């Protein structure tokens, strides 16, 4: 059995090109994470607090946007090619989107890093949630636009591959991995409408000086229209690996293929009409709209709860195939020495905790307690920072040898790396959650204000700061080990018996399930209707209140008038 690179050499190069960008971003982004954790906690201050937002923006953009999405581009290319069992139809198109996304990344990263150079007039300290009123240099938005268009073309490339396959296989069910890629991309097309309008219609002209003002609430709302679903765009590659690769690594088979399809369809339907749960504290959006977003968010827990069940059931099946017995003793029969398996399992375990803090965020009333505190970074370091990032690193130990035809340099280092990530994150994210409950704010260079004591029943602030610094340092060491292992693997000798990339058939296959599951047009249409229902009225009322570009006399002026007349009455 030839491995991936032997069967599809050109596609393997594409995947490698994407993963290389992902891993370089991971290395640089992790470095910014370390210096920032040490700075915030007051352990060592390596840069001036004035540069804090440049560091934080570089950290967030390089890790949350570039590392994750470039990994996705590589993984999905691999998944489409191997599950359709054919090369991509138009390799020039493929290289075009790789190049465009890479060029966009370079432009955006340059705009951010230029912030460290004084007096050149280029900076983009707008954080990874780049909405107004923060303004970046046009290069930042232009790069971002290229990057997003790159992902759109990638999706087009994969849909074309699917269309070719369909011509030859008119009656077959869509292969599972292809199904996952296509539903994720449909969700992405819908979600990115928000950010495209935000950047092209408002932020870019504003940054160029073509328009003078924007409506900040409108750009925030358009951002979160995209900003929630983007978290599932990061998560779906991890789910693809948990559903299709993890069962094999565990020694078993996926519990249910139709259940996996249902999960991806639910994400397509529900990921977008929930973005307002990031805006519970925004004035200017009526409570009723926030309540609808909360209700939709609670429904959106379902696909992840189904995933927890299906993935753990598949792992248990694998363990029993390997001789595992008992109610919980089977856990011991899992291949814990395999870094790919262990990393993914630990990532899943942490996601159970991250999902729990997500449920707390999602409650409109409890959100007021944690919003804009360190609790929120605690939440997303478990989700994107572990469920996604650790799964991607762990998956690489299995994936990369298929792309290079070389062996992995060191499994023990890989194992140490994934365990170190888990331990580092236990320290850091637990302390972040607790510090958040004590009121420590997020996005602040020096959160310990003079004459203000955060000490509460949550423990002393010094202890929490120390845990964050220790955790952050362990995470950085983990990335160093990962980068070293990947680099060393790139120059290993080619192997004679390559990794077997065949995936076992699910215990319950697609054949017995209703064909309507594969009706992508139907699900897309319903998803569009749900978004229209969730967003038309809130957007209309935001525009009515303060105008498209924020220059129509609206609520602020009404308040001004009110205050003025009140002052008159008092006088
Ligand atoms: Fe979130 C804020 C709600 C999931 C990322 N989230 C954020 C931010 C980020 C983020 C980056 O409602 C901050 C944005 C900013 O900068 O302001 N989030 C949720 C909810 C979920 C959720 C309800 N978030 C994610 C995922 C993310 C992510 C996934 C990235 C990938 N989040 C919120 C809310 C806010 C928020 C509010 C705004 C907070 C504020 O006020 O600012 C749900 O999707 C979670 C569902 C998950 C579960 C867990 C299921 C468990 C599984 C594990 C299976 C176990 C295995 C292993 C496989 C119900 C699937 C077993 C192992 C063995 C050994 C047996
Ligand atoms: Cu969200």
Catalytic pick among 320, 322, 443, 549? 443
Task: Report which DSSP code applies to 278.
Answer: G
The pLDDT confidence band at residue 119, using thresholds 50, 70 and 90, is: confident
Phi then psi dihedrals of residue 300, to 5 deg? -70, -10
Indicate which atom in ligand 1 lies nearest the CA of residue 64: 11
- Out of 80-89, 110-119, 319-328, 449-458, pick the least confident: 449-458
Residue of 252, 254, 280, 383 with the most ligand 1 atoms within 8 Å of its CB, for mutation: 383
Kindly state the average pLDDT of the residues 524-549.
95
Task: Evaluate the CA torsion angle 566, 567, 568, 571 in order and state its sign.
Answer: positive
Q: Would you say residue 19 has pLDDT above 80?
A: yes
Give the ligand whose atoms come closest to the C-alpha of residue 129.
1
What pLDDT score was predicted for residue 500?
83
Residue of 361, 378, 387 with the most ligand 1 atoms within 8 Å of its CB, for mutation: 361
Alpha-carbon gap, residue 402 to 398, rounded angstroms: 7
What pLDDT score was predicted for residue 364?
95
Active-site annotation holds for 228: yes
Q: Would you say residue 444 has pLDDT above 60?
A: yes
Task: Evaluate the CA torsion angle 250, 253, 255, 259 in order and state its sign.
Answer: positive
Indicate which atom in ligand 1 lies nearest the CA of residue 307: 60
pLDDT one-digit tens code per residue, 349-393 = 999 999 999 999 999 999 999 999 999 999 999 999 999 999 999
What pLDDT score was predicted for residue 561?
62
What pLDDT score was predicted for residue 453?
72
| Closest CA to ligand 1's atom 39 | 361
- For residue 386, which of 349, 413, 347, 427 has the smallest C-alpha distance? 347
Alpha-carbon gap, residue 514 to 364, rounded angstroms: 37
Kindly state the average pLDDT of the residues 142-164.
98
Phi then psi dihedrals of residue 102, to 5 deg? -65, -45
Q: Which segments of 41-137 does DSSP mark as H helices, in order?
A: 52-60, 68-84, 91-113
* Degrees, nearest 5: CA angle 8-11-14: 155
| Closest CA to ligand 1's atom 19 | 358
- Out of 84-98, 414-428, 437-451, pick the least confident: 437-451
Active-site annotation holds for 39: no
Catalytic pick among 442, 476, 482, 535? 442
What pLDDT score was predicted for residue 553?
53
Active-site annotation holds for 442: yes
- Contacts (Cβ under 8 Å, ≥6 apart) of 223: 129, 130, 131, 194, 195, 198
What pLDDT score was predicted for residue 559?
61
Q: Would you say residue 271 has pLDDT above 60?
A: yes
Active-site annotation holds for 381: yes
What pLDDT score was predicted for residue 562?
64
Kindly state the average pLDDT of the residues 120-127.
93
Give the ligand whose atoms come closest to the C-alpha of residue 318.
1
Distance (angstroms) between ligand 1 centre and the Cα of 354 equals 5
Average pLDDT, the chain: 94
Catalytic pick among 40, 59, 137, 228? 228
Kindly state the average pLDDT of the residues 319-324.
96
Active-site annotation holds for 433: no
Alpha carbon of 329 to those of 311, 317, 321, 323, 415: distances in Å? Answer: 17, 13, 13, 10, 22
- Contacts (Cβ under 8 Å, ≥6 apart) of 142: 104, 107, 204
- For residue 411, which of 485, 358, 520, 506 has the smallest C-alpha distance? 485
Distance (angstroms) between ligand 2 centre and the Cα of 275 equals 6
What pLDDT score was predicted for residue 386?
98
Alpha-carbon gap, residue 409 to 55, rounded angstroms: 32
What pLDDT score was predicted for residue 354?
97
Q: Would you say residue 556 has pLDDT above 60?
A: no
Active-site annotation holds for 327: no
What pLDDT score was predicted for residue 446?
87
Task: Evaluate the CA torsion angle 405, 406, 412, 417 in order and state its sign.
Answer: negative
Binding pocket residue ranges, ligand 1, CB within 6 Å:
129, 231, 234-235, 242, 277-278, 297, 300-301, 304-305, 307-308, 311-312, 315, 345, 348-349, 351-352, 355, 358-359, 361-362, 367, 371, 376, 379-380, 383-384, 388
Q: Would you say residue 528 has pLDDT above 80?
A: yes
Q: Does a cis peptide bond (omega within 30 degrees of 0) precede residue 412?
A: no
Q: Would you say residue 274 has pLDDT above 90?
A: yes
Active-site annotation holds for 40: no
Give the ligand whose atoms come closest to the C-alpha of residue 363.
1
In sequence order, what DSSP letters do the residues of 382-450 get, joined into one string? HIIIIIIHHHHHHHHHHHHHHHHSB--S-HHHHHHHHHHHHHHHHHHHHHHHHHHHTTPBSS-S----T
Distance (angstroms) between ligand 2 centre and the Cα of 552 equals 30
Q: Please, are residues 518 and 174 in contact by the beta-carbon 8 Å criterion?
A: yes
Give the ligand whose atoms come closest to the C-alpha of residue 376.
1
pLDDT one-digit tens code per residue, 166-196 = 999 999 999 999 999 999 999 999 999 999 9
Q: Is 22 left (phi over 0), alpha (psi -120 to 50) or beta?
A: alpha
Give the ligand whose atoms come closest to the C-alpha of residue 273.
2
Q: Is 284 left (phi over 0), alpha (psi -120 to 50) or beta?
A: left
Q: Would you say residue 484 has pLDDT above 70?
A: yes
What the chain holds in terms of domains, given with CATH numbers, is 4-570 (1.20.210.10)
| Closest CA to ligand 1's atom 11 | 380
What element of type H or E holds 379?
helix 375-382
Catalytic pick among 381, 406, 433, 434? 381
Distance (angstroms) between ligand 1 centre and the Cα of 111 equals 30
What pLDDT score was predicted for residue 461?
84
Alpha carbon of 170 to those of 85, 177, 265, 459, 495: distances in Å? Answer: 15, 18, 21, 62, 38
| Closest CA to ligand 1's atom 20 | 358
| Closest CA to ligand 1's atom 38 | 278
pLDDT one-digit tens code per residue, 198-243 = 999 999 999 999 999 999 999 999 999 999 999 999 999 999 999 9
Would you call 256 helix, strand, or coil by DSSP? strand
Rg (CA), the chain: 24
- For residue 431, which of 477, 385, 471 has the smallest C-alpha distance? 471
What pLDDT score was predicted for residue 460?
83
């Amino acid at each position: 059995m030839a491995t991936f690179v032997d069967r599809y050499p050109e596609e393997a190069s594409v995947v490698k090109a994407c993963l290389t960008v992902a891993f370089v971003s991971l290395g640089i982004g992790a470095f910014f994470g370390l210096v920032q954790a040490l700075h915030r906690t007051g352990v060592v201050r390596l840069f001036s607090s004035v540069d804090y937002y440049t560091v934080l923006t570089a950290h967030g953009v390089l890790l949350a946007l570039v590392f994750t999405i470039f990994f996705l581009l590589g993984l999905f290319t691999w998944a489409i090619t191997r599950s359709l069992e054919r090369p991509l139809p138009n390799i020039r198109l493929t290289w075009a989107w790789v190049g465009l996304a890479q060029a966009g990344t370079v432009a955006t990263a340059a705009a951010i890093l230029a912030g460290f150079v004084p007096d050149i007039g280029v900076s983009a300290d707008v954080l990874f949630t780049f909405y107004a009123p923060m303004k970046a240099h046009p290069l930042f938005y232009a790069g971002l636009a290229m990057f997003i268009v790159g992902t759109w073309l990638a999706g087009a490339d994969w849909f074309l591959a699917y269309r070719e396959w369909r011509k030859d296989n008119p009656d077959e069910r869509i292969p599972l991995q292809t199904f996952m890629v296509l539903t994720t991309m449909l969700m992405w097309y819908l979600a990115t409408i928000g950010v495209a309008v935000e950047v092209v219609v408002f932020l870019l002209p504003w940054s160029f000086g073509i328009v003078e003002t924007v409506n900040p609430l409108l750009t925030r709302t358009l951002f979160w229209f995209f900003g929630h679903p983007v978290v599932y765009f990061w998560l779906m590659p991890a789910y693809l690996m948990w559903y299709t690769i993890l069962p094999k690594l565990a020694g078993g088979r996926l519990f249910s293929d139709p259940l996996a399809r249902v999960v991806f369809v639910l994400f397509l339907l529900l990921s977008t009409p929930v973005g307002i749960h990031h805006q519970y504290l925004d004035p200017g959006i009526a409570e009723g709209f926030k309540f609808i977003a909360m209700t939709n968010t609670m429904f959106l827990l379902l696909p992840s709860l189904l995933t927890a069940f299906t993935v753990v059931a598949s792992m248990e099946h694998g363990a029993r195939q390997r001789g595992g017995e008992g109610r919980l003793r089977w856990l011991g029969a899992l291949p814990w020495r395999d870094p790919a398996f262990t990393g993914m399992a630990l990532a899943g375990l942490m996601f159970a905790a991250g999902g729990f803090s997500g449920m707390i965020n999602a409650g409109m009333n409890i959100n007021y307690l944690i919003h804009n505190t360190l609790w929120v970074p605690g939440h997303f370091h478990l989700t994107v920072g572990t469920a996604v990032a650790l799964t991607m690193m762990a998956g690489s130990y299995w994936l990369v040898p298929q792309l290079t035809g070389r062996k992995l340099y060191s499994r023990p280092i890989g194992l140490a790396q994934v365990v170190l990530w888990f331990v580092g994150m236990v320290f850091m994210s637990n302390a972040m959650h607790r510090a958040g409950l004590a009121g420590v704010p997020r996005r602040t260079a020096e959160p310990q204000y003079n004459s203000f004591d955060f000490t509460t029943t949550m423990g002393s602030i010094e202890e929490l700061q120390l845990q964050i610094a220790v955790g952050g340092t362990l995470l950085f060491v983990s990335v160093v080990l990962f980068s070293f292992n990947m680099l060393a693997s790139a120059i290993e000798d080619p192997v004679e018996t390559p990794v077997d990339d065949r995936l076992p058939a699910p215990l319950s296959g697609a054949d017995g399930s209703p064909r309507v599951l594969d009706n992508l047009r139907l699900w897309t249409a319903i998803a569009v209707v749900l978004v229209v229902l969730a967003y038309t009225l809130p957007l209309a009322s935001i525009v009515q209140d303060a105008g498209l570009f924020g220059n129509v006399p609206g609520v602020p002026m009404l308040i001004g008038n009110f205050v003025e007349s009140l002052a008159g009455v008092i006088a």
